[in-house]
Structure 1
Amino acid sequence: MTYISRRNAIGLLAGATTATLATPSLAQAKPKIAFILNGTPGDVGWNYEHERGIAQAKAAFGDQTQIDTFYGVKEWGEEDAAQLETLSGQGYDMIFACSFGYMQSMMQAAFAAPDIKFEHCGGFVRTGNMSTYSARWYEGRVPQGLIAGTMTKTNKIGYLASFPIPQILRGINAAYLAAKSANPDVEFEVVWLNSWFSPEREEEVSRQLIANGADVLLAHTNSTKPTEVAEDLGAFAFGQASDMSAYGPNATLSATINNWGPYYVRQIGAMLDGSWSSTNTWGGFADEMIAAGEFSDQMPNRLFLKAADTVERLGAGQMNPFVGPVRRQDGSAWLAPGETASDRDLLKMDFFVEGLTGVIPSTGN
């Protein structure tokens, strides 16, 4: 699978674009599953793709289960903890928390309710009744970096980053190394927003990056604004988490598309048949947890073929974006020639690679 069309799934948004909490029936005897999202499918990105995955789970299990979704649950604080505590007391058998910032509250909920099965998206801490799952988004940054480095005419790439956490840093570093391999003169300007979804701020930063000379934008934020601004100002951009080409048909070069449905179907099925266990799942192109969006026909044919080959090789395990020699930003050694970064190294990544400029701020969380 290389492409998932946003248009094929647009019907999933009907009735699910407001940040409201569902009101499940306590009289329901069938197994109950809850999903909590930090926004709504209206972001056309992160939550949109989770909603698409949830819809696949509902279609797979029909009337066998009750699946409820709770929208707009804030991370990093008391609201997510209160929501998880409430759900734990309402008879839910399985709870999915679909964002990194739910980790601490979900750990507390898992310890307090050992009979409930918990699933945390983006986390790295497990308990006996709590699994973690995530995607290797950094793999998707490799074809993006390759394309960006080739398509830029100014040699300047703008990057909108959400939080300074390992999953974001892996993506920035992977994109930069790929871009640098295609264009030794390329430069990245990274701006930290400390927000997953901030349309007004994303628009402001996108315009500023282009004003500073960037003619290609990459983003690890949730709104379509970078794509819209690129379309408006004649720059290029990439869809983040989903295909966003409808918001910038001339600007969009490709996308990294999240694909959660198969995982949700598998895990809920395991809960129902009694085979569920606490696991860590970290999938990329090979596992079809991510897909590359359709490549723009504005790309030269040679680049099109190279980008497609890159996706194929990543999916086949024949390519890794982090192979030495690679140094850290401060010039210190990281990967020796021929050495490949381990998953352990990637999971704790807290630095820029050599050549990137700027400072990585504290998370503040």
Structure 2
Amino acid sequence: MDLVKSLFALAAGIGMFAATASAKDLQVGFVYVSPIGDAGWSYAHDVGRQEIDKMDGVKTSYVESVAEGPDSERVILNMARRGYDLIFATSFGYMDPMLKVARQFPDTTFMHCSGFKSADNMGNYFGRMYQARYLSGIVAGSMTKSNTIGYVAAFPIPEVIRGINAFALGVQSVNPDATVRVVWSKTWYDPATEKEAAKSLLDFGADVIAQHQDSPGPQEAAQESGAYSIGYNTDMSAFAPKAHLTAPVWNWGPYYKGVVKAVQDGTWKSESVWPGMEEGLVDLAPFGPMVPQDLQDKVNAVKDEIVAGSKTIFTGPIKDQQGNVKIAEGVTATDEELLGMTWFVEGVIGTTK
């Protein structure tokens, strides 16, 4: 009888070991366009990755500084071949390469950031950063003395154009005499190029510099010239403490944890999602000490309206650079119109090319 009990115990032990051995951590991969040490876009995503890496049954890894185009396809394909369960591609130019790989690996879940294409096993996601851009525009428009605000921009794609427009609308809401002058760097991460672009705007008389890139280069240029700066992606105030007014910032952790949980419990489905300030995905960095308290209070009051849904950014009348009404009075632009925005609002100086 004792022998029988022993055999049953041994069998149970073997079964438990087998179950443990067969349990597989969810393998999650991230592809970044710039180094995580950029303190910007890729760094913000990597902070989110680190949060899901702490979840039970999850193992993550990443590849940084991956160029958009064929190189990104190679990296994504390699992850899929190695059996990754979930892959996040975090740059606009990764969209078509990811879609191509997704069609070859129907059992893998793919998520693309900032794009618009999808498949049964590939979703896309982004955040309504234009909300925080608008708030930062209120700060810039209130702090400028020259009424010339510089904007160092990455690439002329709808995401960047939409952000510039929202920023300009924020500026104009408090200072209709101010203009926003745009220079394209055609880079996501090139500190030297982005710093030089900012200098060209400062030479033109800008006394506030905003940006849509990953490096603190534009903010460093502003500080060196005694001007102010609006950062992006994360709180980069340490790089330019005398210039940094605030920054539109990302908080990817909660969203990434939700996606991973959905994949784990089998409830994930392909969709396009675009959460905003009301869900905490986007926000403003702390204000610099040079920002007056009454201005801080004003910005926070508008933020509360955005979170409550009583304030929308792209509600007309809104005109383009040529004075044509693009969004009629009382009309709010649809998400489709915002995602395809290719024109500048009145008060922006520069081209969309």
TM-score, normalised via structure 2 length: 0.91
Please name the residue that 1:51 is paired with: 46
How many Å separate the matches in 1 of 2:226 and 2:349?
A: 25
Q: CA deviation at 1:234?
A: 0.9
Please name the residue that 2:26 is paired with: 31
Please name the residue that 2:345 is paired with: 353
1:106-125 equivalences under 5 Å are 106-125=98-117
Specify the code of the residue in structure 1 equivalent to 2:37. G
- Tell me the alpha carbon deviations over residues 199-244 of structure 1, each in whole angstroms, 9 at most, x when there is no partner: 1111111111111100001100110111111111111112210000
Q: Secondary structure of the residue that 2:326 maps to in structure 1?
A: strand
Whether the 8 Å CA contact 2:52–2:58 is kept in 1: the answer is no
Specify the code of the residue in structure 1 equivalent to 2:297. L
Q: Secondary structure of the residue that 1:35 maps to in structure 2?
A: strand
Paired residue for 1:177, among 161, 164, 169? 169
Whether the 8 Å CA contact 2:161–2:352 is kept in 1: the answer is no
1:60-139 equivalences under 5 Å are 60-61=55-56, 64-75=57-68, 77-139=69-131
Paired residue for 2:195, among 181, 192, 203? 203
How many Å separate the matches in 2 of 1:272 and 1:54?
A: 16
| Structure 1 residues not aligned, in runs of 5+ | 1-26
Specify the code of the residue in structure 1 equivalent to 2:134. V
Please name the residue that 1:327 is paired with: 319
Q: CA deviation at 1:333?
A: 2.3
Whether the 8 Å CA contact 1:44–1:223 is kept in 2: the answer is yes
Please name the residue that 1:234 is paired with: 226
1:200-279 equivalences under 5 Å are 200-279=192-271
Specify the code of the residue in structure 2 equivalent to 1:331. G
Whether the 8 Å CA contact 2:178–2:347 is kept in 1: the answer is no
Q: CA deviation at 1:334?
A: 1.3
Closer, same or farther in 2 for the Cα pair 1:300/1:31, shift >3 Å? closer
Whether the 8 Å CA contact 1:35–1:70 is kept in 2: the answer is yes
Q: CA deviation at 1:90?
A: 0.9
Q: Secondary structure of the residue that 1:135 maps to in structure 2?
A: coil
CA RMSD of aligned residues (A): 1.4
Whether the 8 Å CA contact 1:137–1:167 is kept in 2: the answer is no
Q: CA deviation at 1:300?
A: 2.4
Q: Secondary structure of the residue that 2:247 maps to in structure 1?
A: strand
Q: Which has the higher helix share?
A: 2
Paired residue for 1:167, among 159, 163, 166? 159
TM-score, normalised via structure 1 length: 0.88
1:287 aligns with 2:279: yes
Bigger mean CA deviation after superposition, 300-309 or 164-173:
300-309
Q: CA deviation at 1:336?
A: 1.3
Count, aligned residues: 332
- Tell me the alpha carbon deviations over residues 140-196 of structure 1, each in whole angstroms, 9 at most, x when there is no partner: 111111111111000000001101111111111111111112112101110011111
Specify the code of the residue in structure 2 equivalent to 1:202. E
Q: CA deviation at 1:28?
A: 9.5
Please name the residue that 2:11 is paired with: none
- Tell me the alpha carbon deviations over residues 243-264 of structure 1, each in whole angstroms, 9 at most, x when there is no partner: 0011111111111111111111
| Structure 2 residues not aligned, in runs of 5+ | 1-21
How many Å separate the matches in 1 of 2:286 and 2:218?
A: 18
Whether the 8 Å CA contact 1:292–1:311 is kept in 2: the answer is no
Whether the 8 Å CA contact 1:227–1:237 is kept in 2: the answer is yes
Bigger mean CA deviation after superposition, 298-307 or 261-270:
298-307
Paired residue for 1:42, among 25, 37, 40? 37
Q: CA deviation at 1:355?
A: 2.7
Q: CA deviation at 1:340?
A: 1.1
Whether the 8 Å CA contact 2:140–2:230 is kept in 1: the answer is no
How many Å separate the matches in 2 of 1:181 and 1:29?
A: 53
How many Å separate the matches in 2 of 1:215 and 1:103?
A: 36
How many Å separate the matches in 2 of 1:188 and 1:88?
A: 43
Q: Secondary structure of the residue that 1:153 maps to in structure 2?
A: coil
Q: Which has the greater radius of gyration? A: 2
Specify the code of the residue in structure 1 equivalent to 2:71. E
Please name the residue that 2:9 is paired with: none
Q: CA deviation at 1:41?
A: 1.4
How many Å separate the matches in 2 of 1:203 and 1:45?
A: 15
Bigger mean CA deviation after superposition, 260-269 or 64-73:
64-73
